Structure 1
């Protein structure tokens, strides 16, 4: 079994870099420009990882050597066995993350391909609730918020792509606040959480949000 080392958002980033190189190849004739783009893609892809073995680095650097669309497709497909899936989680673990919500709708875990999940999310349309589970430093963080579809496109906080948005509001309790004193934090996020997971290339904004509203 091959050791996994590529997280979903890193894989999305690699695909984005591969697409950029391919588009440049199709639209630019200047070889100096092409070589600069190839070199930048190589640096960007390897720079997305804190550490790599020599074999892993060599594998990723191959992005700068391709000429045809099928070459890039084979390259990204060849990286799939190295994807590090979302950490294993059970429905009981999820329920414990939301102890105050006894009647919460639980996700169908069998419907997820956890190789392509950066954050686990599911909606309860009946209550307009969105639930998020995010792994951080060996623990799971649960976020529950109210979701209001906006019926318009804009930029999602998590994946920074232009897509159909929902306005997510999460109640938070400021430090040193009274027991019943809550505030709300709101952000625009993708209405389609699966599409968001397929597009996210940087977890910084997602982590800041999750950590800011964690209970």
Structure 2
């Protein structure tokens, strides 16, 4: 069976599974639990748009009031083998995304666990520039900038979850007169964690759209 679950959809399934476990631990009424189980199953099936045998099996495994987070994580690990990894861009694609950057340092993305990523990001330790790439409309686009030094708790513009965030600034061309302006958004300081909790592509798509024309 081909891999059918995208990384952000897997994160959504995991999030809904944890909601279910919280309900098991806090609600005693069997009818309320049955209603909540039906709601969780409906949400997951609606997200995937189709029913899949491996997902149905997973739901059957975790939908029991005695389920614990540890056991659920074990079933989630099995389901993760069905996740379609993010496409690995070639060095040429990466260079095309950052044509204006001289002496671009390209990370070894082949070592990344791409089943956990919806976008790519890395920091050049020398220049302290942060690079971000994402497949938007079926092609990779990129942007780069830097973080302000201060970190705080807040909502990330990319994953749209609460996390340690900092103001990410990038310089964009403002108009035909050649002037430039800085644009900024608060995003996760830890891009790995951002990917791991990203449950929708809406945030990352809108984030990159703000910088079109850079």
Structures share fold, TM-score greater than 0.5: yes
CA RMSD of superposed structures (Å): 2.1
Structure 2 residue matching 1:93: 3-state secondary structure: helix
1:97-112 correspondence to structure 2 within 5 Å:
97-112=97-112
Aligned length, in residue pairs: 211
Which segment drifts farther, 127-136 or 112-121? 127-136
**Partner Cα separation in structure 2 for residue 54 and residue 12 of structure 1:** 17
Residues 62 and 94 (structure 1), Cα distance of their counterparts in 2 relative to 1, 3 Å cut: same
**Partner Cα separation in structure 2 for residue 38 and residue 122 of structure 1:** 39
Aligned to 1:19: 18
Q: CA deviation at 1:42?
A: 0.7
Asked if 1:29 is matched to 2:2, the reply is no
1:41-56 correspondence to structure 2 within 5 Å:
41-49=40-48, 51-53=49-51, 55=53
* Unpaired stretches in structure 2, ≥5 consecutive residues: none
1:108-147 correspondence to structure 2 within 5 Å:
108-147=108-147
Residues 181 and 130 (structure 1), Cα distance of their counterparts in 2 relative to 1, 3 Å cut: same
**Partner Cα separation in structure 2 for residue 62 and residue 172 of structure 1:** 50
* 1:164-208 deviation line (CA, Å, top 9, x unaligned): 21211122335xx21512232210000100011111111101101
* 1:79-101 deviation line (CA, Å, top 9, x unaligned): 21210111121223211211110
**Partner Cα separation in structure 2 for residue 171 and residue 159 of structure 1:** 22
Aligned to 1:186: 184
* 1:12-41 deviation line (CA, Å, top 9, x unaligned): 110011011111111111112211211111
* Unpaired stretches in structure 1, ≥5 consecutive residues: none
